Every structure is written in C-alpha cells, then in structure tokens.
Structure 1
Amino acid sequence: MESISKFAHSSARQIFRSKVLKVCVISPKVVCVELQVPQSFSFHPGQWVDVIVSRNNELAKQQLSETFCFDKGFQKEFIKDLKDDPLDRDEFYNVTGFSMTSSPFVKEKITLGIKLTDHYITNFMHNHVKEGHVLNVAGPGGTFILPYQEFTNKTKRQLFLIGAGIGITPLLSIFHFIKDLNKLQNIEKISTTLLYSCRSEVECYFREEIINTTIDSDGTHKVHFFQSNTPDNYFVPSDNDQIQTHSGRIHIDNLKSCVDHTSIKDGIFMLCGPQPFIYDLEDQLSTLGVPRDRMHYEKWW
C-alpha cells in the first residue's frame, strides 16, 4: 500500500483573474461560488484563496466584467501590491480569504463557501457577483491542512473532523478529498468521522452535500450532526448508520460515543470554528485522553 504522503506537494501561490462558473444559494446567509482556476493551480484540502476587491465601489463592479482590462499603470501597481505588500493592509483593495469546500482532485475549478457578514467583500459576493463575472483571486494560502506525515507510519490512523457553523468549509474539502483518495487503488483507506455543530437544520450548511459524500464513501465516512436549538433528546432515525442527527452541542458524553477507545490514542483530530468552540473542544478531547499533538485547528476572532 502507498502512503498518502505522495500528495504532500507544495502549492505555489498565484494571482489570477477567475471566472465565476456558478453561484448557488445554500441558505439565506450562505452562498456557494464555483470559480474557474488556471490548470497550474493546486491546493491542499483545508486551504483558502483571497478574493481581492477594489475599495472603489464603481471600479469593483467594473472589474467583474470579463472584458475589463487594467491600464498599464494600474496593472503594474495592482501586481506589485499583491506580490510585495501584506494584502490585508493594502490601501487600494479589500481582501478576504474564503476556504475551498471542493476536493483538490477536482481540476481547473474550485468551490468557495461564503457566509454573509458585515464585511464589505462578503456583501459584495452575495449581492453583486453572478455567473459569468470575473474576480481577482490570489492563493492558495493557509496552514490548516491534512497532516500527511501523521499517516505515514504503520499505525492505522482514523481522522476526526469537528466543526461549527461556517467552520465546516475547510473540513468539507478534507472530507471530499479523503473520499476521493480512498477510491484510489493501492492507497491505505482512512476512516473519517465528521462531527458538525450548528444551531438548527437551516444553519447546517452543506448538509445534503455532506450526506451524499458520506453515502458515496463506500463505508469509510460517518457524520454526526449536532443541532443546539432543537428539543432535548431530539434524534432523527436514519436508514444509514453512517449518518446521525442529535440535539444539543458537542460535549464530552457524545464525544465518547462517537470516538472509540482506540482512536483516543491514535486518531487525528482537526477542529475548525470560533475561538470559544475550539478551546472548549481542546479541553474536552484532552479530558478524554487525546494528546495535544494529535489536535490541529483553525479558529477565528
């Protein structure tokens, strides 16, 4: 059997104009945007790309046109700013990173999950960006990626992905990637369990996509949905024991039921969500006996 370390190649950062192939409404506050990317573009599951939008609202709308061309002076400054300066400090552009939800096995296009917030770019993406428009994109970026090296020794690892709210986006990319990886011949299969905490079914973003991926995983994937704004003891029976829905938040008691004893020591745990969620899960997993070096996380403020 081959090791998955063969996929741990470096992903060079690029700057490019990216055509919008599709915009899908996932929920009242979340859209899914599919972008065309260069053939040379690659990324690790869990990474993100920056979307760069002019701070001049009229210029930002003009740049959505496929026929838009920078004049030479502006283009020179545009490229210089993106290559030499920290993007989030740029005086000419708003810049926001969005995680890929798609698998790196899908070539020449990526899918981003974008939640509507008070931030200028999320509003711009929700209210102005349509199919056929073109965006300024830079990437990939981010270090929250599958720890390939931890799957290279003789110990059989299980992967646990634990997320809350829109924190599902990088985990979904990993979930897809492992499903695709497991279908390859001569690759050691990786059992993967996703625990997803959300307020309600409406805010359980990408639920159908997660379920379909689980069903298509040939038994290697499981998912547990946790809905905090549902009655106590709420449970949705499923014909497929790989898919379960529970009431309440993720806590130590249901972690015990989702994580078997062997996985406490040898499992890999990837967490993504708001800071309080991450800190709480770190403590609970530590209480169960999960070593800190088996936990990998991405959090935001």
Structure 2
Amino acid sequence: MCLIWVSSVLTDRGRKVVMNIPSGFMCNAARSFTLWSPAAGRLCWRPLGAGSTSRMMSSKRQTDHLERTVGNYRQDALYPAEICGMVSESETVKRLRIVVHPDFTFKAGQWVDFFIPGVEKVGGFSMCSSPGLLQREGVVELAIKNAKHPPAHWVHTVCALGSQVALRVGGDFFFDPSPSDPAVDLLLVAGGVGINPLYSILSHTSDLLHLSQASGGRDYKIGSAHLCYSAKNTEELLFKNSIIQSCQQLPDKFSCNFHITQQRAEVDQHLRPFVKSGRITPMELQAHVNPQRTLCYVCGPPPMTEAISKTLKDLGLPKDRILFEKWW
C-alpha cells in the first residue's frame, strides 16, 4: 500500500468533512477511482503517484494492519460510511453500527480497512454482523476492543453518532456456501475478540438455515455448527446472550461451550449450562471432528491458533479444512 496521503474535503449538506485517503490505495488499479457519498454523490479521487511494490513495502508510514494483510484479497471499492449506533458490548469492547452504501458487500468472516479522518494509521477490524443484516437494514457492525492503537483508541474516546469514516472490505477468511454445495458441519474456535468473524459466520449460518427451512430444503444444505469460545471471564464473552439464544432456538443445529480461564465471580445461572472452566480441550474438539464433513474456522491469539490447528491435524482433520485468522 502506498501511503502518500491526499487530504481532501467533502461537502456534505453544507458541512465540510476532511478525510485523509491514501493515494496508492490500489497497487495495481487505475490512477483514479471513485468513492460514493450519500450526501455528495460520486467523488473522484486522484492519487499523487504510483510506487513500486518494493517501495510500498519499505514505506516508513506503512501501518501494522496493512503490513499484516498485504498479501490478502481486497475489494477495489472504498466507501464513505457513518456511525449510526454505539453500545458497550463489555467493559473493554465497544460495538459500532455503521450505515454503508447500497453497493457495499462482504462475506461472513471478512474484515474492513477502517479509515478515520485525521488519524493516519489504518484500522483493521472483522465484521461481527452477517451479510443478511446488511441486506435487511443497510448496516454493518464492528466490535472493537480498547487499545493504544490509534484507530481503536479513537473508537473508544472520540467516535460519536454521525462520525464519518471510510471502509474497504478484504480478507480470505470467510464462509460463503452456494446452494449447490454439499452440507458441512462447522467447528468454530474463538479466543477473546477473535469471536468477531466467527459470530458473523454463525449469524450467517442461522440466516441460511432460515432460508433453507422457508424453501423446504431446496436452497442451502446446512449442517450443524459448534462454537468453542475461550475468554478470561464471562464479562469478556461477547454476544453470549445471542449465541445462547441461537442454540436454544435450533438445538439440533447449534451448540456452544464457553471456556473461562480466570473467572473470580460466580457464574450467572443462565450461563452455567454453557460454561466450562479452563481452556479448550482436545477431547471437546474430537467430539466435533469428522474428517469428511467438518470445516473448522479458528480466530484468536497466534499461540492458541497454532495449538488448536495442530490438535485438529492430529485428530485427522485435513489441513485444507482448517481455516484461521491471526491478527495479533
């Protein structure tokens, strides 16, 4: 990614919104591209100049997120968006609801490059909402943990309703079955905020199940989904009530275990049937591994991801059926 920045001004119903856009945003794309603003219509951005791949990789202004994902798929389009809802998902995580342009699309499990006016570093956050919510309401959701990293810090200290940002979709970690695909059983393994893309996948699976039921099984062939989710304590379990609700509504399809490693307070009664003390065990994974049917998605800290992947291989799950996202 070239990081020569163009500071541009959008006119939005009489207000000026300054947004910094990286000029070399598409390494192999055209030298100008178009953004869409709900208020201002289509806006043409022209880069200052193109650089070689080696020059881009050596740029001192390359951000951590862009470095980590330089080899990943990215869409060409960058869309302005607006924060329309905010809620505290836990003491350390804020959930954003964001209005996006009608042409904005993504697959369950993907992330966005998150551009903030006046903040040089680019955020990288997985969507926690499903493509179905986007289709129904025109919004996406991100759950972002407080941190010193400037984009996350901005979310927790500056971001407000009406704040303007820009989003670009990327990532090779997703679940996007076709109606003609054979059924698979999903095993979802999450650690901490690594639940975000997996919750998107779980919600998407629920949407597809409802579509299949409505069509009498003529559309999507959806198997089961089991979630293993590890966190320090129950307060840090994101989306726990919605996950439990899905398991209760579709007990023959969804199941979950919450693994708690540092719980001090008593576990709430409604959570007890789903909570296990300690880390995710090989025995639990083995109960949900079928080498012919299981497709596993893992997202969490690298040591956890590596250990879980090794265990799954030892249990006979083929390497191409173990998909993972490592972010930190």
Q: Deviations over 1:41-95 (max 9, x none)?
A: 11000011111124xxxx45xxxxxxxxxxxxxxxxxxxxxxxxxxxxxxxx210
Does residue 37 (structure 1) correspond to residue 70 (structure 2)? The answer is no
Contact 1:230 1:248 in 2 (8 A): no
Q: Structure 1 residues 237, 138: closer, same or farther in 2, change over 3 A?
A: closer
Indicate the residue corresponding to 2:170 in structure 1.
141
The correspondence for 2:239, drawn from 187, 206, 223, is: 206
Contact 1:265 1:289 in 2 (8 A): no
Contact 1:17 1:134 in 2 (8 A): yes
Task: Indicate the structure with greater helix content.
Answer: 1
Supply the distance in 2 between the matched residues of 1:43 and 1:286 (Cα, whole angstroms): 29
CA RMSD of aligned residues (A): 2.6
Deviates more, 1:144-153 or 1:122-131: 144-153
Q: Structure 1 residues 180, 150: closer, same or farther in 2, change over 3 A?
A: closer
Count of matched residue positions in the alignment of Structure 1 and Structure 2? 246
Q: Structure 1 residues 209, 180: closer, same or farther in 2, change over 3 A?
A: same
The normalised TM-score by structure 2 is 0.69
The normalised TM-score by structure 1 is 0.74
Of the two structures, which has the highest relative contact order with CA contacts closer than 8 Å and spacing of 6 or more?
A: 1
Taking every aligned residue pair, what percent have the same amino acid on both sides?
27
Indicate the residue corresponding to 2:259 in structure 1.
226
Does residue 191 (structure 1) correspond to residue 224 (structure 2)? The answer is yes
Post-superposition shift, 1:14? 2.1
Where in structure 2 are the equivalents of 1:53-72 lying within 5 Å? Answer: 53-54=116-117, 59=118
Supply the distance in 2 between the matched residues of 1:212 and 1:33 (Cα, whole angstroms): 21
Post-superposition shift, 1:277? 0.5
Segments ≥4 residues shifted beyond 4 Å: 234-240
The letter of the residue matching 1:139 is R
Q: Structure 1 residues 115, 152: closer, same or farther in 2, change over 3 A?
A: same
Secondary structure of the 1:117 match is: coil
Indicate the residue corresponding to 2:284 in structure 1.
254
Supply the distance in 1 between the matched residues of 2:304 and 2:179 (Cα, whole angstroms): 24
Supply the distance in 1 between the matched residues of 2:158 and 2:170 (Cα, whole angstroms): 25
Supply the distance in 2 between the matched residues of 1:217 and 1:97 (Cα, whole angstroms): 32
Contact 1:227 1:247 in 2 (8 A): yes
Indicate the residue corresponding to 1:100 in structure 2.
127
The letter of the residue matching 1:295 is I
Does residue 125 (structure 1) correspond to residue 158 (structure 2)? The answer is no
